[in-house]
Amino acid sequence: MYNPRGSCPGATRRMPARHELIAPRGIELKTVAEFAIKYCQFLDAEGNLAADAPALASDTSELLKMYRFMTLARAFDSKAVNLQRTGQLGTYASCLGHEATHVGVAAAMQPDDVLAPVYREFGSQIWRGVKMSSILLYWGGDERGSDFEAREDFPWCVPIASQVPHGAGVAMAMKIRGEKRCSVTYIGDGGTSEGAFYEGINLAGARALPAVFVVVNNGWAISIPIGQQTATKTLAQKAIAAGIPGVQVDGNDVIAVRHVVGEALARARRGDGPTVVEALTYRLSDHTTADDASRYRDPAEVKEAWNKEPLPRLRAHLTKMRVWDAAREEALKNECAREIEAAVDEYLSTPLPSTDAMFDHLFANPPQSLLEQREIARRYKRKH
C-alpha cells in the first residue's frame, strides 16, 4: 500500500497511539461502537493482479477504454502545461499522476449522475463528455469554458471544499424526486480540513443521500503534506464522523478505483446512503503552474512516487492479457495527440468574449443600472 504520509515524520509523531480512551486505571470500559477502515488494491505497482480481483479486471474492452482516457488525460495535461509555459494559457492545475483515480471514478458513474469536481479532475470530465477545448477555455480565462458539455455537472470549484454541500444538495434533489441517480463529489486531502467537507458528508449521512464523496489524497495541499493537515491515519476515517462508510483505495489502480466507486454508487442507488472513498495517489506535478514544489518537497519522494504511478501498471496488465503492445501504444499516442491538437486549435481560435459577457449572465432579469454599466464598459473596452 502506498502511503504518501510515509515521508512526513510529523504525522506519526503526532498520532495518538491507539485512539483509545485515556484508560482509567484498572477500569474496564464498555465498547459502544467499533469501526474499521479497509483498503482495496487489485493491481499493484508492478502490474500484478490480485487473485480475487473482480470480473472487471478481465473486461478488456472496458480496461482499454479506461487506458485510452488515462493516456489522453496524461497527454492533454502535458500539452496544457506547455501552453501555460508559452504564455498561451493561464495558471493551470496539472492532473499528472491522478489519471487512474479520475478515469476510474468517471467510468463507475452513469451519464446522468452528476459530478461536482474540484479543479484538476480532467480525466473524469473528458470521460463525461467535457471537450478539452472547454477545459482550455476555462483555464485560459474565459467563463465560456464552464458552459460545458456535461450539462448538469458542476463547473470547477475553486473555493476549497465548498462543492461538498453542492453534491449533497444535488443528491437531496434526486432523492426527493425518487430518481435512481447519484452525485459524485471530489475533494482533496487539504480540502478535508475545511468545515464544509464535514458539514456536507454529515448531511448526506443524516439523510441517507445517494452521494459518493471521493477524497483524492495526493499527499499535498500546495506545500502542506498530509501529515500536517490532520492527525488521522487515513482520510477515509473522516466518514466515521458522518456515520457513513469510509474506504481507502489505491488511487493509482484504476481497477480498484472503479470497483470501489462502483460499489459505493450501487449502494447509494439502492437507497443505502453515501460513502466516502479515499483514493491514495500522488501529485507528481507542482501544485499549479504558479507553484514551485522544489521549495518544499523532497525530490526523493517524488521519484519514489513515479514508481507507483498509474499508467505503467495498467499497461503491464493489458500487455499480459495480450491486448496491448508497443504498436498499439504508438497508435494511441498519435490519436491522442491529434485530438488534443484539434482541441488546442479550437481553443486558440475562439475569439475573445465581448465586454458585454461580464454583464449578460449575471441575472435573468438584469436591473437597469447594470445595463448602464454595460454601456460604460463598452466605451472603455481595451484594445487587445
Partner 1 sequence: MAKVTMIEAINRAHAWEMRHDPAVVVLGEDVGVNGGVFRATAGLQEQFGKDRVQDTPLAEGMIAGMAVGMATQGLRPIAEIQFMGFIYPALDQIANHMARMRNRTRGRLTCPVVMRMPHGGGIHAPEHHSESLEALLAHHAGLRVVCPSSPARAYGLLLAAIREPDPVIFLEPARLYRLVKQEIADDGQALPLDVCYRLREGSDVTLVSWGAMVTETLRAAENLERDGVSCEVLDLATLSPIDHETILESVAKTGRLVIVHEAPRNCGIGAEIAATVAERGLYDLHAPVKRVTGYDTIIPLSRLEHDYIPTTARIMDAVRETLAQ
Binding site residues, ligand TPP, CB under 6 A: 118, 120, 158-160, 188-191, 216, 218, 220-222, 283, 287
Selection from partner 1, ligand TPP, a copy of itself, none that 242 binds (CB < 5 to 8 A by kind) is a copy of itself
Q: Is the dihedral of CA 262, 263, 265, 266 positive or negative?
A: positive
By CB under 5 A, the residues from 134 to 193 that bind Mg ion are: 188-189
Distance CA 45, CA 311 (A): 9
- Taken as a whole, the chain contains a residue count of 384
Query: Distance between CA atoms of 193 and 178, rounded to whole angstroms?
Result: 32
The interface region with partner 1, picked from 21-29, 64-72, 312-320, 352-360 by CB under 8 A, is 352-360
The CA angle 84-90-95, to the nearest 5 degrees, is 65
Using CB under 8 A, which residues numbered 281 to 340 contact partner 1? Answer: 290-291, 295-296
- The C-alpha cell that represents 310 in the structure block: 498509474
Radius of gyration of the chain (CA): 22
- How far is the C-alpha of 263 from the C-alpha of 240, rounded, in Å? 18
Cα 7–118–220 angle (5° rounding)? 10
In angstroms, give the least distance from the CB of 122 to partner 1: 15
Which x/- pattern over 211-240 shows residues binding a copy of itself (rule: CB under 8 A)?
-----------------xxxxxxx-xxxxx
Q: What burial class does residue 70 get, using C-beta atoms within 10 Å of its C-beta: 0-12 exposed, 13-18 middle, 19+ buried?
A: buried
Q: Which residues contact 95 (CB under 8 A, 6 or more apart)?
A: 73, 77, 102, 120, 121, 122, 123, 285
The overall longest dimension of the chain from CA atoms, in Å, is: 81
283 is catalytic: yes
Residues 110-169 that bind partner 1 (CB under 8 A): 114, 116, 119, 138-144, 146-148, 151-152, 154-156, 158-160, 162, 164-169
Question: Which residue of the set 120, 287, 313, 374 is catalytic?
Answer: 287
Single-letter code of the amino acid located at 267: R
Q: Is 227 in the site for Mg ion (CB under 5 A)?
A: no
Q: Which does 381 bind (CB under 5 to 8 A by kind): Mg ion, partner 1, a copy of itself, none?
A: partner 1
Q: Which three cell numbers stand for residue 277?
A: 472513498
Question: Which of 83, 109, 118, 260 forms a contact with a copy of itself (CB under 8 A)?
Answer: 260
Query: Considering CB distances under 5 to 8 angstroms, the limit depending on partner class, which of a copy of itself, ligand TPP, partner 1, none binds residue 341?
Result: none
Specify whether 287 is catalytic.
yes
Minimum distance, C-beta of residue 207 to a copy of itself, in the bound complex (Å)? 7
Catalytic pick among 19, 85, 296, 361? 296
Report in angstroms the alpha-carbon separations of 298 from 80, 149, 280, 338, 342: 25, 39, 19, 36, 37
Stretch that binds a copy of itself, among 12-20, 310-318, 319-327, 336-344 (CB under 8 A): 12-20
CA angle 243, 245, 247 (to 5 degrees): 140
Q: Per-residue contact track with a copy of itself, 40 to 79, x per CB under 8 A?
A: x-----------xxx-------------------------
Grid cell, residue 354, equals 465581448
Catalytic residues: 283, 287, 296
* Residues in touch with a copy of itself (CB under 8 A): 1, 14-16, 19-40, 52-54, 193-199, 202, 205-208, 228-234, 236-245, 247-248, 259-260, 263-264, 266-267, 272-273, 275
